[in-house]
Amino acid sequence: MQSSAAPNAIRTKKYQLEKNTFTGIALAKVWRKDWWMALIPLVLFLLPAVFSFSWWWVAGAILVTLIFVLLRSAQVMGVTQMEQGNPLFEKLSYEIDSRQILLKRNEREGMALTWDMIGSVERKGQAYLLWLKPPTDAQLPGGWRGWLAKNFQAPVFVMMPFRIFNNPNDIKLLESMLRRKELIA
């Protein structure tokens, strides 16, 4: 853990994000943004059917599109199985101040998330979703691997339900902090 939180920091109760909740939200975000990518294999494999119609081309196009959708979904769901993703699904408490968000496993162990690591914040139902920024081009590998990594990223977020806050004033304080950081409208 880096430095400790300020004395006037917002402290929360412990919360554990369920893997199914993460998967559902992340898949919805991916398919809302990238739905059109599923049309690429469908159109490519239907093109031969335009010139020489056969149900085999149609069946092949549907099958390849279905495989693409399943592989992309499995990639997003894989975040829950990777060792690097384990901290997202542990029981953590948060200490939020103007410098950082401390994700604490216990009093001695945890990690700091600085505000510049957060790309945007979304209020979804009775929770805040803090979407982490994707890696920059300099952090990605070069060539086709970099292109794949950039275009097929799995979104990662931290979820803070309102029920983990100790009182409604903490929620208002967090919201004002998010507005000052220009992360939420």
Q: What is the mean pLDDT of residues 166-174?
A: 92
- CB-based contacts of 183, cutoff 8 Å, min separation 6: 115, 118, 120, 121, 130
Cα separation, 71 vs 76, in Å, equals 9
Q: How confident is the model at residue 170 (pLDDT cuts 50, 70, 90)?
A: very high
pTM score of the predicted model: 0.80
Listed as own residue / partner, the contacts of 26-33 with beta carbons closer than 8 Å and 24 or more positions apart are 26/76, 26/79, 26/154, 26/155, 26/156, 26/157, 27/73, 27/76, 27/77, 29/155, 30/72, 30/73, 30/76, 30/154, 30/155
The string of pLDDT tens digits covering residues 128-153 is 999 988 888 787 788 888 777 777 78
Grouping H, G, I as helix, E, B as strand and the rest as coil, residue 157 is: strand
Cα separation, 142 vs 69, in Å, equals 25
Q: What is the mean pLDDT of residues 152-172?
A: 90
* Beta bridge pairs of residue 159: 129
Q: In 94-183, where does DSSP find H-type helix?
A: 143-151, 168-180
Q: What is the mean pLDDT of residues 46-75?
A: 91
Q: Which two tokens stand for residue 180?
A: 């000052």
